[in-house]
Structure 1
Amino acid sequence: MKEEFLEQMIDRNVVKHQIESYNRFVEERIQAILNEVGSIEPELPDGEDLVIKIVDVDIERPKINEADGSVRKITPREARMRDLTYSSEIKVQMTPIFEGVKQESEEVTIGEIPVMIGSDLCWTSEWDDEEKRRNGEDPEDTGGYFIINGSEKTIVSMEEMADNKPIYQEDDGEQTCRINSENSGYVQRHQLVRDKDIVEISFANVKNTPAIALIRALGYETDKEIVEAIGEEYSSDVYLNLYEVDASNQEEAYEYVGRQAGITSDVQERVDKILDEYLLPHLGQEPDSREDKAELLASMIRNVIALGKGDITEDDMDHYANKRLNLAGELLEMQFRSVFLGKWGLVARMKYNFQKSAKRGRLPSLQSTVVSDTLNKQIMGAMATGNWVGGRTGVCQSLERNNRIKTLAHLRNIVSPLSADRQHFEARDLHPTHWGRICPIKTPEGMNIGLRTHLAMSANVSTGMSKMEKNSLEMKLEETGIEVE
């Protein structure tokens, strides 16, 4: 019975969460990021209209280009032996539309991504035990790691606070609400603080601004509407906050928010951008989402006031319901998104190269405008050094191979973003919600105790739903007569 338990819990499921996360990144998230771009519109010197439509993405299994020009598949063993990177090319189908006329589509190679051993993209996923032996692979190897320049690397899971969920805290008579609002990989951190009965909000370039002003700017113009939205039981607190804001209607609220954000010109347009794109983006980034934003903001103000009056209790930040794990797929998505959409990313460089070539009197091929090294250097460089977008360090590490147990433990490692130099006593403590999820024993001694943990053998990591999946589920529930709020 013991052997059966070990076979089911260790050999088959130890890296299931990482492999599934990587498969999701390759099969869905890369295409979703490209869909966000949709099209590229370079500016041509003569004013001609050119739109480059991004149609589809194709990622083949790992291959190698030999010195003699031949192309063949590469196995993980060969990558280890020859100090190569086990990776696949990303090919994107692009269609130029010049002056409204659709041109011939072109398949463009934008770079390479590392392939996780054991994933659907890896050759080993279709091999049986005998074929693995013939190709120099251990049939007992679980996979879940990468081969970068011949070295085995693993991306450790990163523990983060849950996105799109308000967390209420109280400290020294000051009540706060924090929410990380996430939409398609873009995260905007918000903080509401109630100090001396005034509730202020900070996010993006809006700092310490009375939250009531934003509700008014979102369309709740009258005092009565705002009081009803927040709660009539706290009307005295709401009126006190209204008195602090020098704005009696939406237009004045725009000017007030603009002053708080340091905006001196194009106030209407720039405040619109703040309200639509930066304020609670998980509810939407279009004007039709403003009512939802006003309702959530009013709810957050109500709860902050209620916390100060003792009507509700603060949230436990260390409760695992308030945390999420960023696995290999999510972390690679962050890096890919940064390299592809960043200020000096692949799309920006493609536009620049296209414009530079067009100025010389010719329209270049799409492939010639793509600097594939941009993607290769930044993603492979991050994998080699462990330094990730957002200032994270130690995300990618050399895989422990001292013994099998150490390897399995390393593949299930979890790292907290908290600094090891600080005390963080409560964060380091064992929490009741760790039971069955986090191993109570496997954590290092010293400064990292409690901040570097490991998944328990009984833990199962589920994946979140995309907006499309969520909408599909809501439609199915409504079809069965279940009301969805």
Structure 2
Amino acid sequence: MENVFTILMKSYLREKGLVNFQIESFNEFVEKRLPKLIKSIGKIKPELPEIGELEIKLGKFELGEPRVKEADGSIRKIYPMEARIRNLTYSAPMYVEMTQVLNGIESKPTMVEIGDLPIMVKSKFCPLSRMSRKELIEIGEDPDDPGGYFIINGTERILMLVEEIATDRIIVEKTKDSSVPQIARIHSEREGFVQKHLIERKRTGEIYITFANIRRIPIVIILKALGLEKDKEILEAISLDERIQESFLINILEFPIKNGEEAIDELGKYLRIPQKSMRKKQAIRMIDKYLLPHIGQEPENRLAKAMFIAKAIEKILKLHLGEIEEDDVDHYANKRIKMAGDLLELLLRSILLGKWGLIVRMNYNYQKLVKRGKLPPLQAVVENAILTNQIVSAMAVGSWIGGRTGVTQRLERSSWNKTITHMRNIVSPLSSTQEHFEARELHPTHFGKLCVTQTPEGANIGLRKYLAISATITPKIDKKDITPILELLDSVKVKK
């Protein structure tokens, strides 16, 4: 007779699986994030004075079935085993609906192939996910294979689970630097990109903020540029506690800015732009686009940004006054795990919108191909092979956006247990060549989430972790989906 633990584990594994979180992350990326990314681009407007005003509208996104292009030009369906044997990439074509509007006249919408996307084995877009055990055996597949990996040039590769500091929250710490005893860190995330902010309180009481490569701007300048123009408004936004207000007062006395206009001009000086008009324009762009982008990137979001910064100041001053303890960065509530969908979104966003991305190349190709007033077909303008090669190259080498390396690894196949262990491996972005003693140590919050005994010896000890057997990872929830719930809880006066 089976004991209770065995029954529970079997039930859990049937429902959740060991690598299902990676498969669900990939499914969500294709079904929601990629269409949302295409929608965010909206329109492309090439500059073509030879033929008039041209606009390309981007519509729905579709993903085809995994396929292979043969040497004779024929195209047919492919299964993972053939991709392994023939050293092929197991991928499917991506299509985007495009409509040309020339001088106000709209042409018929066309589904244009923009490139191939590697398909995760056993995902919703892989035929294996719809097959029975018998059918899997007939095509040469292991029916007990969990899936959750890619086949790139015939090699099975996985996207690693990457541990990062939680975004969009204020983390305050004490430092060993006597001149800057307290700091606050904010990692603001929008659409996959993270903008790091550092707020520093000097020993003498002045508070500065660093973001977007602009170093040490007095915090009062930022608050007044965001709309808190009166000194009283700033103090009340930070706190109603007189002790905290008194601790901040030196900043108002040290940087006597009269109004928002003066604050924006002063902020522009930190950008080292000599012309006043350009200085103002660039300063406004910096606070709208790069300051706390998770709150928003429009002028109407400025006051909300000011209130968020005010709360960060309150927290750093409470730490200074001994009213609160510093945040534990190694607490697992302050960590988040990036899965396959998160990493692929970051890659595709860069490939589509980057300096030499698809949109830039489309503009260039239009200008190159437009001759004698004739408009080239859309498929001739879209270089789908280049986009495919960029994706495959990144996944084959493991070099990712932001200079990160080792994001993909060859799947360990020496035994079934090692395969599962490798796919539940969590890597830290911290360098293995540095000490990071606290980050390497076992933390009480790891229990139940991470295996407390398994970690490699040597330089990676403590930096490479493994999920506990009954641990799973929940997908990121869109803030729009939880806003009604938060409003409901607020209306019934639920205490935090």
TM-score tier by shorter-chain length is over 0.9
User: Secondary structure of the residue that 2:217 maps to in structure 1?
Assistant: strand
**8 A Cα contact 2:51 2:373, kept in partner:** no
Tell me whether 1:251 sits opposite 2:261 in the alignment. Answer: yes
Tell me whether 1:340 sits opposite 2:352 in the alignment. Answer: yes
**8 A Cα contact 1:117 1:146, kept in partner:** yes
- In the alignment, the residues of structure 1 paired with residue 150 and residue 293 of structure 2 have an alpha-carbon distance, to the nearest angstrom, of 34
Tell me whether 1:176 sits opposite 2:180 in the alignment. Answer: no
The equivalent residue for 1:460 is 472
The equivalent residue for 1:435 is 447
Shift of 1:360: 5.1
Q: Deviations over 1:350-373 (max 9, x none)?
A: 111112222553211111111112
User: Secondary structure of the residue that 1:191 maps to in structure 2?
Assistant: strand
Equivalent residue runs for 1:178-197 within 5 Å: 178-196=185-203, 197=205
Alignment TM-score, normalising by the size of structure 2: 0.94
Tell me whether 1:26 sits opposite 2:26 in the alignment. Answer: no
The equivalent residue for 1:296 is 308
Q: Which one-letter code corresponds to 2:252 in the other structure?
A: L
- In the alignment, the residues of structure 2 paired with residue 355 and residue 237 of structure 1 have an alpha-carbon distance, to the nearest angstrom, of 59
User: Secondary structure of the residue that 2:330 maps to in structure 1?
Assistant: coil
**8 A Cα contact 1:9 1:457, kept in partner:** no
User: Secondary structure of the residue that 2:25 maps to in structure 1?
Assistant: helix
Q: Which one-letter code corresponds to 1:209 in the other structure?
A: I
User: Secondary structure of the residue that 1:91 maps to in structure 2?
Assistant: strand
- In the alignment, the residues of structure 2 paired with residue 96 and residue 150 of structure 1 have an alpha-carbon distance, to the nearest angstrom, of 38
Q: Which one-letter code corresponds to 2:221 in the other structure?
A: A
Equivalent residue runs for 1:205-216 within 5 Å: 205-216=213-224
Q: Which one-letter code corresponds to 2:212 in the other structure?
A: A
**8 A Cα contact 2:193 2:346, kept in partner:** no
Shift of 1:4: 4.5
- In the alignment, the residues of structure 1 paired with residue 80 and residue 129 of structure 2 have an alpha-carbon distance, to the nearest angstrom, of 12
Q: Deviations over 1:152-204 (max 9, x none)?
A: 11111000001101111001341111111111223211000101211100001
Q: Which one-letter code corresponds to 2:97 in the other structure?
A: Q
The equivalent residue for 2:382 is 370
Shift of 1:259: 0.7
**Does the C-alpha gap of structure 1 residues 171 and 475 become closer, same or farther in structure 2, counting only changes over 3 Å?**
closer
- In the alignment, the residues of structure 2 paired with residue 398 and residue 426 of structure 1 have an alpha-carbon distance, to the nearest angstrom, of 30
- In the alignment, the residues of structure 2 paired with residue 231 and residue 263 of structure 1 have an alpha-carbon distance, to the nearest angstrom, of 35
What is the RMSD computed on CA atoms of the aligned residues? 1.9
Q: Deviations over 1:71-96 (max 9, x none)?
A: 22100111111111100110000111
Equivalent residue runs for 1:45-194 within 5 Å: 45-46=49-50, 48-172=52-176, 173=178, 174-194=181-201
- In the alignment, the residues of structure 2 paired with residue 468 and residue 112 of structure 1 have an alpha-carbon distance, to the nearest angstrom, of 31
The runs of 5 or more residues in structure 1 that have no matched partner are none
- In the alignment, the residues of structure 1 paired with residue 96 and residue 161 of structure 2 have an alpha-carbon distance, to the nearest angstrom, of 29
Q: Which one-letter code corresponds to 1:218 in the other structure?
A: L
1:326 to 332, 338, 355: 338
**8 A Cα contact 1:170 1:314, kept in partner:** yes
Q: Which one-letter code corresponds to 1:193 in the other structure?
A: E
Q: Which one-letter code corresponds to 1:252 in the other structure?
A: E
Q: Which one-letter code corresponds to 1:194 in the other structure?
A: R
Tell me whether 1:392 sits opposite 2:399 in the alignment. Answer: no
**Does the C-alpha gap of structure 1 residues 54 and 473 become closer, same or farther in structure 2, counting only changes over 3 Å?**
farther
The equivalent residue for 1:425 is 437
The equivalent residue for 1:416 is 428
User: Secondary structure of the residue that 1:67 maps to in structure 2?
Assistant: coil
User: Secondary structure of the residue that 2:294 maps to in structure 1?
Assistant: helix
The equivalent residue for 2:247 is 237
- In the alignment, the residues of structure 2 paired with residue 148 and residue 154 of structure 1 have an alpha-carbon distance, to the nearest angstrom, of 10
**8 A Cα contact 1:176 1:304, kept in partner:** yes
User: Secondary structure of the residue that 2:61 maps to in structure 1?
Assistant: strand
Aligned residues: 484
The equivalent residue for 2:43 is 39
**Does the C-alpha gap of structure 1 residues 137 and 4 become closer, same or farther in structure 2, counting only changes over 3 Å?**
farther
Shift of 1:374: 2.5
The equivalent residue for 1:260 is 270
Shift of 1:275: 1.4
Q: Deviations over 1:116-158 (max 9, x none)?
A: 1110011101001000001111111000111111111111100
The equivalent residue for 2:415 is 403
- In the alignment, the residues of structure 1 paired with residue 371 and residue 495 of structure 2 have an alpha-carbon distance, to the nearest angstrom, of 55
**8 A Cα contact 2:87 2:155, kept in partner:** yes
Shift of 1:5: 5.2
Alignment TM-score, normalising by the size of structure 1: 0.96
- Identity across matched positions, percent: 44
- In the alignment, the residues of structure 1 paired with residue 222 and residue 494 of structure 2 have an alpha-carbon distance, to the nearest angstrom, of 30
- In the alignment, the residues of structure 1 paired with residue 321 and residue 289 of structure 2 have an alpha-carbon distance, to the nearest angstrom, of 33
**8 A Cα contact 2:184 2:199, kept in partner:** yes
Tell me whether 1:199 sits opposite 2:207 in the alignment. Answer: yes
Q: Which one-letter code corresponds to 1:366 in the other structure?
A: L
Q: Which one-letter code corresponds to 1:466 in the other structure?
A: D
Q: Which one-letter code corresponds to 2:183 in the other structure?
A: T
- In the alignment, the residues of structure 1 paired with residue 373 and residue 255 of structure 2 have an alpha-carbon distance, to the nearest angstrom, of 57
**8 A Cα contact 2:330 2:443, kept in partner:** yes
**Does the C-alpha gap of structure 1 residues 47 and 309 become closer, same or farther in structure 2, counting only changes over 3 Å?**
farther
**8 A Cα contact 1:415 1:451, kept in partner:** yes
Equivalent residue runs for 1:441-452 within 5 Å: 441-452=453-464
Shift of 1:470: 3.3
Q: Deviations over 1:421-465 (max 9, x none)?
A: 111111011111101100111110011001011110111211121
